[in-house]
Amino acid sequence: MIHPIEYRYGRKEVKEIFDEEKRLEYMLKVECALVKAHYKAGNINDEGIVKEVEKKANLNFVRICRVKEIENEINHDVMAVVKGLSEVCEGDASKFIHLGITSNDVIDTANALQFADFVKFLESDLLNLRKTLVEQAERNKQLVCIGRTHGQHAIPTTYGMKFAIYAMEIQRHIERLNEYKKRLLVGKISGAVGTYATLGNKGIKIEKEVVQQLNLTPAEISNQVVQRDRYAEFFIHLALIAKTLEKIAVEIRNLQRTEIDEIAEHFEKGKQVGSSTMPQKRNPITGERICGIVRIIVGNAIASLDNIPLWHERDLTNSSAERIIIPEICILSDYILNLAIKLIKNLEFRSENIDRNLNLTNGMIMSECLMINLTKKGLGRQEAHELVRECAMRVYESRSKGDVNKGNINFRDVLLSDKKIRKFLTEDEIRQALNPKNYIGLAVKKVEEICEILRKQ
């Protein structure tokens, strides 16, 4: 084994969609559907031929080892499948296998079958992740924490808001998936450059019959390949999903920093080891693994863009890339989605540290609230802003001298001693304005609204 997908990353049931035998099975389904379509179009008169191909076009008769053996002899993978099926079919059945089509008719239609099976897992993953995020949003809608902008303390928010925002982002990914599925799950049975020349006047009818048997739709028009903008859209969507997961993982990793320590990945007591040399370590390895794998997914999505411009009616530059891109990006996307679900579901919240960080600046995060309260008492907005800013800057200046660590000056003391502010606000009003839990606006209502919307989806 060489690739970590083989032994480390990915779920068994998803990896099976992309293994060699399953790939052969998809291709055999296309070849079988073609023979049936020829029969329905009147190109085959003997129903026994159809029954023979139906019987033999599966892994019980066409073995992967034999197909590989043929490919080693002829150096053509699709023709190896054709020969492998033909040699097990009795009578005249082999005459009609692969009749009137080219390799990419099989390859691209098989790709669509592969994508259709994978998309079922993708949709389920997204729905499960959305559900997990909604549950965390609802559970933590009133858990007040410090909001941060530019890495600095801003004003209070809630953990419910964080998770509701993520949940709505996942909902958009679900909507995108439902929109482009119709563009992705298409097949083609139109011959060498897409003109149906070998299929004649019945070509379009045969194509429709094949793809309908396979629960796909026909590409409206193609050359020798299904146009790769369809695939790129799919892969870019997977990259978008991956970036959302990275966004969530980065936030969790930051909030798990020793200096912040508000939330943390679940750590198995008595079992899990954080470091080979530092026994105290509890590292955010799941979030880090997500972030690392995202880089591969995004790289594959970028590579898929280069598969769009092919020479003339087609060349082979997309083929080798797709043999790597398709399984990697799909398997890894499913893998990190499930990692994220587990990570978010089992998060540990440190309420004492959340409160500690909320009050770390001794009320300076409530400067906006004070400014607004001053305007309500009649002071102009710009004047109120400057007045509160000057008070905050005095606290910052004292920090540089080390006075704040001695407890000699804090924001509340500065406000209470400021004559201009005391003309407008009483001591009790200042105290109320400095309470961060009084300044979360409509956060709870907004989270409840989002959770209600998503539960109905």
Which residues, other chains included, contact 313 with Cβ-Cβ below 8 Å and sequence gap of 6+?
Answer: 193, 194, 223, 224
- Number of other residues whose CB lies within 10 A of the CB of residue 411: 24
CB 96 within 8 A of CB 53: yes
Which tokens is 110 given?
A: 């098989």
Catalytic residues: 150, 275
